[in-house]
Amino acid sequence: MAKKFLLLFITIVMVSCGSDDDSTDLDCSLVLCAAVDDTIYLQFLHPDNDEDLLKNGTINVDLIEIINEDSNEVTFTVEEFSEMGVYLAIPVSTTSFGRKSFTITLDEDESFNINFETSLPEGNDCCGAYTTLESFTIDNYSYDLVEPSPLPVLTTVYIPNLD
């Protein structure tokens, strides 16, 4: 009798695990996905001593202005990550992909540009679409190299002298 139940169990398992070649739908009910965070996080440090310029108030957050490639002002936030420091969090628009830029003005005399390219990777997975950062450059200041990767991206910008 035990052999019959074992045979029945194996048959049920094999039938339920069989593939349905006609179905193209993915069953994503058991997949846990990370929330999409299309943000560039910038930390501003002094290159000589790695002092956090947002945390110590050298950069006044109230004076910062960010303009995108369409000449629109970008609303940003300031976020502190324990043990990592304070970051300027700049959302990246995903209404279109391709070449993008931000002009970041820190005060009346200090500004720089970030140029980057975004894309939407091909493929249909359970977690949806994550924006990929294809290239990334900053003029006027040195910064940590940013490799092509999905957003979010955290990078450090080294600013030597702000008066």
Query: pLDDT tens digit string along 128-154?
Result: 668 888 899 999 999 998 888 889 999
- Residue ranges per domain, the chain? 34-158
Burial of 115 (0-12, 13-18, 19+ CB in 10 A): middle
Q: What is the pLDDT of residues 51-74, one digit of tens each?
A: 999 999 999 999 999 999 999 999
Q: How confident is the model at residue 126 (pLDDT cuts 50, 70, 90)?
A: low
For position 26, what pLDDT does the model report? Answer: 60
Q: Could you write out the three-class secondary structure of the chain? A: CHHHHHHHHHHHHHHHHCCCCCCCCCCCCCCCCCCCCCEEEEEEECCCCCCECCCCCCCCHHHCEEEECCCCECCCEEEEECCCEEEEEEECCCCCCEEEEEEEECCCCCEEEEEEEEECCCCCCCCCCCCEEEEEEECCCEECCCCCEECCEEEEEECCCCC
- What pTM was estimated for this model as a whole? 0.77
